[in-house]
Structure 1
Amino acid sequence: MSSLPKYQEIYRRFRQAIDQGQLRPGERVPSVRSLAQELKVARGTVETAYQLLVSEGFFLARGQAGTVVAEALPQRSIKSLPVEPEPVAPASAPRLLQLGLPALDSFPRKLWARLVTRQVRRVDVNSLAMGDVRGARSLRVAIAQYLALYRGVECSPEQVFVCAGYSACLALVCDALQMAGQPCWFEDPGYLHARQLLLHLGVQLVPVPVDHDGLDVEEGVRRAPGARLAIVTPAHQSPLGVALGTARRHRLLDWAQAHGGWVVEDDYDSEFRYKGQPLAALKSQDTADRVIYSGSFSKMLFPGLRLGYLVVPRALLPAFEASAGVLQNRSAELLQATTADFLDQGHFTRHLKKMRQLYTARRGFLVEALASHCGALLQVDEQSGGINLLARLRVDVCDQAVAAAAARAGLGIQAVSGWSIEPGGQQGLLMGFTNLATRQQAVQAALVLREVIDGAL
C-alpha cells in the first residue's frame, strides 16, 4: 500500500482512471457511502477526495443525481504509477483453411441477438436457478423433435442430456460408464481432441483401422472383443470423410448387443452433405438400444456456443443422471433457451439449408484453387459431405513438416498422421474451407500452401 493519506490514494486512483480513459466524461462514480463501505474507510475520507476532485474540475456534483466525471476536463495529468503492459490477445479471426469451424461470417448474428434479448426480458426467479442437470426442458424437447424428423432418431426429452460441448458429452459418458481403465474401440485415425480427452480420463484406447468403408469392425472384434465402448463417426468419419458401410453398421450393432458393449455415435456434421440425402443415423437402426447418440451445435452454429447433447439409452438413464449431477457440465440456461427458440421457430433448418449451398460454393473455390496451383503436389480426396477437405501429398514429404511450416505461414491446416495412434499412419493434409469467403481467398491460400510444400521438399 502507498504511504499517502487515504484520501490522496483515492484521489490518485480516480485521476489515473480519468487520464487513462477508464472513466469517461459524464460517467457516474460511486456514491460516497458505497465507496466508503467498499474500501472500508470513513465516509469523511471519501468526501475529502471527492471535494478535491470537484474543486479541480474533474468531478461534477449533481446533488441527489449523484456525482459524475466532468464533461470538460482540465488539460493536465498526474504522474502515473508504473503500469504493466497488457499482453496482446491472440487474434480471434479464423486462420486460412482452419479446421472445424462453420462460416462465422454468415451466421445470423442480428437474429440471434434478438432471440437472446427476448430471453433476457423473460427472466424470472425460476430461470435464475441451476435447473435440471439434463438441461433446459425446452431445448431437450426441441432436440427430440428435430432428431425424429431429420435424423430418424426416436427418443423422449428425458433421454436427452445437454452438455457444454462435445468434450463435456464424452466426459459424461466416461463417468457414467466408469470407463477409467476400460478398453474402448477408437477409430485410427480418429478425432484428435477426443483421443486426448479420453487418454486424460484414463480410458484404454484400442486403435481400430479405418479404410474406404469406415471402421474395420472385424479388426476391432479381433483386437478387443470384450471392449466396453466403441466411439465412431459413421456418417462422415473424422478425419478421412468416409461413411461407415451398411454391412459394417449391422456388424457393429450386432457386436454391441452380443457382448454387452455400447457405441457412441458422434454425428458431428452429418447435415452437411452435398450429394444426395444425409445418411441415416446409426441410432435410427439401433433396435437393441445400445447406441449413445451425440450431437453438437458448435459446428452447426458457432463454436463459442459450446453446446452439445447426448441421447442416452433408457437402461443407462439412472447412471447418466447421477454422473450429470456430480459433473455439472452445464451450458448456460440463457444459451439453451435461445437455442431452443432457434430450433422451434425454424431458424435452424433454414440456416442449415443456407449453409449447404454456401459450403458447396466455398468447397468448390478451394478444390479449383488447389487443382490450379497445387495439382502437381496434392490430390483432393472425393468426399460427399463435411466441412473439411483431405488432400493427399503427391510428393515425398512428411505431412507434419508441411503442417508445421504452414502454421508459420498463417495457414490452419493439420497433418492426418498426427491424428493416428499407431505408427506409420496415413499421410495427408486436412483443411477447412467454410471461411473462404471469395474465390480470391482460396487462390491466396493455395499459393501460400504451394510455397510451403515447395520449401519442405
Structure 2
Amino acid sequence: MLDALALNLERRPDAPLYRQIYHGLAAEITGGAIKPGQRLPSTRDLAQALGVSRNTIMLAFEQLAAEGYLEGLSGSGTYVSRQPPAEIVEPSPPRINPAIRAAGSLDRSAEFGAGLAAEIGVSLAHAPETLRHMRRPVPFRSNFPALDAFPVQLWAKLAADLYRKLDASTANHLMGEGDPQGYLPLRAAIAEHVFLGRGIDCTAENVIIFAGAQQAVDLACRLLLMPGDKVVCEDPGYDGIYASAIATGGVPVPVPVDVDGLDIDAALARAPDARMTYVSPSKQFPLGMALSLERRHRLVEWAVRSDGWIIEDDYDSEFRYAGRPLPSLYGMDRAGRVIYLGTFSKTLFPALRLGFAIVPATLVEAFVSARTVVGRYSPILEQVLVARFMKEGHFASHVRKMRKLYAQRQDYLLEAVASRLGAYMTARPTDTGMEIVAELAPGMSALALAKAAAREGLEIMPLSLLSRSPEVNVDDHITLGFSPFTARQIDDGVERLRGVLAGLTARE
C-alpha cells in the first residue's frame, strides 16, 4: 500500500503538500486503485514514506473524511469508505445574465426595456432601512466585533513597516491600480484559511475580493438572475439578499426556518423552480441554528438537479464555541453550484470593507469581469495589510483570542439577563456568533421595546424587521449583541434596559 501511495509531490508555495496528498488519494479512490473498505497506512508511516510531516497527512485525511472518502474505526485505523463519493460531476456552463455577459455593462434598459430599468431603479432607492443607517456599538448592537480587543499597535506596526519600505518600484505597485480579482497573496491566504477551517478545497484562482460580502451578494444576483427568477430566502433572514434580488428583477420567496435551519420541504413546495437559494448554514441569521447535515445534502442535490445556485453566507463561522462545525456546502458540492461568502468585517473590523467570494471555476471569469464594473477593485494597501496579518499568523491568533473572549462575554450577558431581566424575557445561548436571541414575556412587543430602548441610547433588534411572511411570528423575539461589550458596559446596558422594560410594563 505504501508503494501504491508513492505520490509525486511538488514543493511549491502555490500547491500545499496536504492539498496535493488530498487530491492524489481522492483520485486513487474514485479511480478504483484503492478499494472501498481497504485499510490505509498509519499517518506516521505514510508521512515517513512521503517525506512530509505527520500533521500534513492528518490534514489531508481530515478533509477526505469530511467529504466521505475515508472513515475511522476506533482502535483499528483509517479505511476507505464503503460507499465513497463518485467522481466529480462536470458542471454545465453557467447561464449568465446577457446584459452583463455581452458588454460588461450593468445598464439593463437596452435588453429589458426602459420601464423595467426604471422599476429596478426604484427598487434600489427603497433599500431596507436596516441597511441604510450607520450604527454604533452601543448596547446591545448585534454583529459587531470587539474593537477594544483588536491589536491596534500590531496593526499600526505592520502599516508603518509597509509604508517605510516603500520604494519607487513597490510604490508603483501598491499605490497604482489593483487586480479586480484581488491581491494574490491575500487570495492565497484566504484559500489556506478556508481549507483549514471549513474544509473547502480551492485555490487563489477561486477567490475574489469584494468591498464586503453584500457587494458579492449583489453582484451574484446581477450575474445569475434574470427578471422573474425566484430566489429562496430564509425567513426571518438577511435583508441584503431581498434588496439585491428585487433590484435585479428577481422574486424573493421567503421560506421559514426551524430547529434544523431552512425548511427544504417548504422551499420545494413554494419555489420548485427557484434559480437561487440564499442560506446561512453555519449560523442562521438571525435565529442562530445550524442547517442540519441531511438538509445540506438535499439542498446541494436540489441545486444540481434544477441547475440552480446556492449562496452560502458563512459570516460568523470563525466564532464557534461548542463542537465541530458541519461541512460547508461548498465543500460538499461536486458540481460547482455553490458560491461561498466570507467577510473580514466581523473577524477584524468593519471599516476595512473587505469580504470575499469563493466561486466555482466556471464562474470566475464572469465574476471578475463584472467586478471591474462594480467598483473595479478593493483598496490595495488594506489588502496587503490583511494578507500580512494572515501570513504571519496574527489572524489565527486573533480569532482564537476573540473566540475565548466572546464566549466569556456571552456567559456574562446570559447571567445578567437571567438574574435581572428574567421577569421580562428568556434568552438562550448560541453555539456560534456574536449575539443571543431572547423571547419576551407574553404580551410584550419587540417593536415597542426597540423604540423605547433607542430613546435611552440602546440598540435592540426586533426579529420582525427581518421577517417577510405573516405566518412567521417572531414579534416577541429580539437579538442582544455581546461581543463588543465589557462586563461594565453589559451591566450598565442591562440596568438601562430594565428601566425601559419596567416603564413599558407600567404603561400597559
Alignment TM-score, normalising by the size of structure 1: 0.77
Structure 2 SS opposite 1:96: coil
Structure-2 change in CA distance of 1:91 and 1:230 (3 Å): closer
User: Residue in 1 aligned with 2:478?
Assistant: 429
Distance in 2 (alpha carbons) for counterparts of 1:203 and 1:434: 35
User: Residue in 2 aligned with 1:450?
Assistant: 498
Task: Select 2:367's aligned residue among 314, 317, 320.
Answer: 320
Structure-2 change in CA distance of 1:93 and 1:399 (3 Å): closer
User: Residue in 2 aligned with 1:341?
Assistant: 388
Deviations 1:74-116 (A, max 9, x none): xxxxxxxxxxxxxxxx998521111110001000111111112
Residue identity opposite 1:436 in structure 2: F
CA RMSD, Structure 1 to Structure 2 (Å): 1.7
Deviations 1:111-135 (A, max 9, x none): 1111122222334212223221111
**Offset, 1:290:** 1.1
**Offset, 1:180:** 4.5
Alignment TM-score, normalising by the size of structure 2: 0.70
Is structure 2 residue 186 aligned with structure 1 residue 143? no
Distance in 1 (alpha carbons) for counterparts of 2:240 and 2:308: 23
**Offset, 1:414:** 0.6
Answer yes or no: is the 8 Å Cα contact 1:174–1:180 preserved in 2. Answer: no
Structure 2 SS opposite 1:209: strand
Structure 1 SS opposite 2:272: coil
**Offset, 1:329:** 5.1
Task: Select 1:104's aligned residue among 142, 147, 159.
Answer: 147
Residue identity opposite 1:447 in structure 2: E
Answer yes or no: is the 8 Å Cα contact 2:410–2:429 preserved in 1. Answer: no
Structure-2 change in CA distance of 1:320 and 1:180 (3 Å): farther
Runs of 4 or more above 6 Å deviation? none
List alignment gaps of at least 5 residues for structure 1.
1-89
Matches within 5 A, 1:10-409: 94-120=137-163, 121-122=165-166, 123-328=170-375, 330-409=377-456
Answer yes or no: is the 8 Å Cα contact 2:414–2:429 preserved in 1. Answer: no
Distance in 1 (alpha carbons) for counterparts of 2:154 and 2:226: 41
Answer yes or no: is the 8 Å Cα contact 2:281–2:291 preserved in 1. Answer: yes
Structure-2 change in CA distance of 1:343 and 1:106 (3 Å): same
**Offset, 1:393:** 0.7
Answer yes or no: is the 8 Å Cα contact 2:230–2:275 preserved in 1. Answer: yes
Answer yes or no: is the 8 Å Cα contact 1:168–1:329 preserved in 2. Answer: no
Distance in 2 (alpha carbons) for counterparts of 1:99 and 1:383: 13
Distance in 2 (alpha carbons) for counterparts of 1:337 and 1:284: 27
**Offset, 1:451:** 2.0
User: Residue in 1 aligned with 2:98?
Assistant: none
Deviations 1:188-226 (A, max 9, x none): 000134433433343310101111110001111111111
Structure 2 SS opposite 1:359: helix
Distance in 1 (alpha carbons) for counterparts of 2:242 and 2:277: 12
Distance in 2 (alpha carbons) for counterparts of 1:201 and 1:456: 42
User: Residue in 2 aligned with 1:30?
Assistant: none
Deviations 1:370-425 (A, max 9, x none): 00111111111242111011000123111111111111111111101111011253
Answer yes or no: is the 8 Å Cα contact 1:209–1:219 preserved in 2. Answer: yes
Moved more, 443-452 or 165-174: 443-452
Answer yes or no: is the 8 Å Cα contact 1:163–1:329 preserved in 2. Answer: no
Moved more, 108-117 or 345-354: 108-117
Distance in 2 (alpha carbons) for counterparts of 1:139 and 1:428: 39
Residue identity opposite 1:220 in structure 2: A
Answer yes or no: is the 8 Å Cα contact 1:272–1:356 preserved in 2. Answer: yes
Answer yes or no: is the 8 Å Cα contact 2:178–2:379 preserved in 1. Answer: no
Moved more, 278-287 or 135-144: 278-287
Distance in 1 (alpha carbons) for counterparts of 2:272 and 2:134: 46
Deviations 1:115-174 (A, max 9, x none): 122222334212223221111111111111111112110111111110000111112211
Distance in 1 (alpha carbons) for counterparts of 2:485 and 2:459: 12
Distance in 2 (alpha carbons) for counterparts of 1:373 and 1:412: 18
List alignment gaps of at least 5 residues for structure 2.
1-132
Distance in 2 (alpha carbons) for counterparts of 1:235 and 1:255: 19
Structure-2 change in CA distance of 1:129 and 1:403 (3 Å): same
Structure 1 SS opposite 2:459: coil
